[in-house]
Amino acid sequence: MQGVDSRSGVTSPGVRENAVVLECRNITKDFSRIRALDDVSFELRRGEILGLVGDNGAGKSTLVKIVRGALAPTSGTIYVDGRKQRFRSPRDAIRKGIQCVYQETAIVEQLSVQENFFLGQELIRPGIGGALRFVNSPMMRKESEAYLERMGFDLDVREEIGNFSGGQRQAVAVMRALYFNPKLLLLDEPLTALSEKAKQRLGQLLVEARATCPMILVTHDFEGAVEICDRLIVLKQGKVSGELETRETPLSKAEMLHYLFTHM
């Protein structure tokens, strides 16, 4: 099946394969005289975790901000499921099925686990209550509790999330993103601030969840990226400087790390 641009009727070559969920084509971003991204193109396929790696200032975060609607590209096009998209805001991107998990856990410490779980996407009561935008707290509690439990986390969702560990908070943030069945999940350095044990547990969680939700993992932890991701794209000074398959490759882990270091 061929993807067709809904506005212009232009066919995206990236969706000739059914499996492509996201295609970024020729993305360039300028901040006054500085070119943060220079003609970056890549695609994300269904069932994979794509790693975006690179040194500080390589353009990883800028790219993620563009995909999640926080920045507009200077030029270039984004296709989601073969349809050309232009996100006006992060809310717009969320509405179109793009969820994001951040390095500094995107939670509000003063709110409970369930309130954070549905933050910005609160469940609304049916009927007149819904018209007045009353939140459906019992449903939110039930849903968040059941989902977290299914994923192996037994937390009292009525507790303030600020009382839990960094790992537990990040786990809630990841599961919150997965709960909404996103078309794709952006993970912007989600493991950086965590302990080794928490990193392993969450890494495992991501690998298990990739079948239902493709992901882009932004990281400068090369070892972690090689273990978690199926494919890696190396960014250097705003350009794609290398690409690496990590699953079906004759390269050893050490060779893959060597490749990444030489291309950054």
Partner 1 sequence: MGWREVKRAVLHINSVVLIVAIIGLGVAFSLLSRHFLTLTNLRVILETMSILTILSLGVHSLLVAGEIDISFAAVLGLSAVVAALVSSGNTNTFLLILSGLAAAVAVGLANGFFVVNMGIPSFLVTLASMAGVNGLVLLLSNYRSVLLSDDLFPEIFYGRPFWQVPTAVFWMVGLIIVTGIVLRYTRFGRWVYATGGNNRVALLMGIPTKRVRYALFVASSFLAGIAGFIVASRSLSARPLIGDAYLMPAIAAPILGGALLTGGRGSVIRTTLGALVLTIITNGANLLGLEPAYQNIFMAIILIGSLSTQGGRDLIRRLLAHAVARRTKGAP
Q: Which residues bind partner 1 (CB under 8 A)?
A: 89-91, 94, 100, 102, 106-111, 115, 119-122, 124, 132-135, 137, 148, 152-156, 159-160, 162-165, 167-168, 170-171, 194, 197-198, 201-202
| 41 vs 137 by CB, closer to partner 1 | 137
| 195 vs 262 by CB, closer to partner 1 | 195
Are residues 50 and 214 in contact, defined by beta-carbon separation less than 8 angstroms? yes
Q: Which 3 state secondary structure label does DSSP give 121?
A: coil
Please state the closest distance from residue 34 (CB atom) to partner 1, in A: 23
| 113 vs 260 by CB, closer to partner 1 | 113
| 55 vs 208 by CB, closer to partner 1 | 208
Are residues 152 and 160 in contact, defined by beta-carbon separation less than 8 angstroms? no
Are residues 213 and 188 in contact, defined by beta-carbon separation less than 8 angstroms? no
Please state the closest distance from residue 204 (CB atom) to partner 1, in A: 9
Please state the closest distance from residue 183 (CB atom) to partner 1, in A: 16
Handedness of CA 33, 38, 39, 42 (dihedral sign): negative
| 4 vs 135 by CB, closer to partner 1 | 135
Report phi then psi at 212, rounded to 5: -95, -20
Report phi then psi at 28, rounded to 5: -125, 140
Tokens 């490749």, residue located? 259
Are residues 113 and 161 in contact, defined by beta-carbon separation less than 8 angstroms? yes
| 42 vs 117 by CB, closer to partner 1 | 117
Please state the closest distance from residue 32 (CB atom) to partner 1, in A: 20
DSSP state of 16: G
Dist CA 172 CA 108 (whole Å): 12
Are residues 215 and 64 in contact, defined by beta-carbon separation less than 8 angstroms? no
Please state the closest distance from residue 81 (CB atom) to partner 1, in A: 20
Please state the closest distance from residue 209 (CB atom) to partner 1, in A: 14
Report phi then psi at 22, rounded to 5: -130, 135
| 48 vs 115 by CB, closer to partner 1 | 115
Please state the closest distance from residue 119 (CB atom) to partner 1, in A: 5
Handedness of CA 56, 59, 65, 68 (dihedral sign): negative
- With CA atoms as reference, report the closest residue to 104 among 202, 173, 177: 173
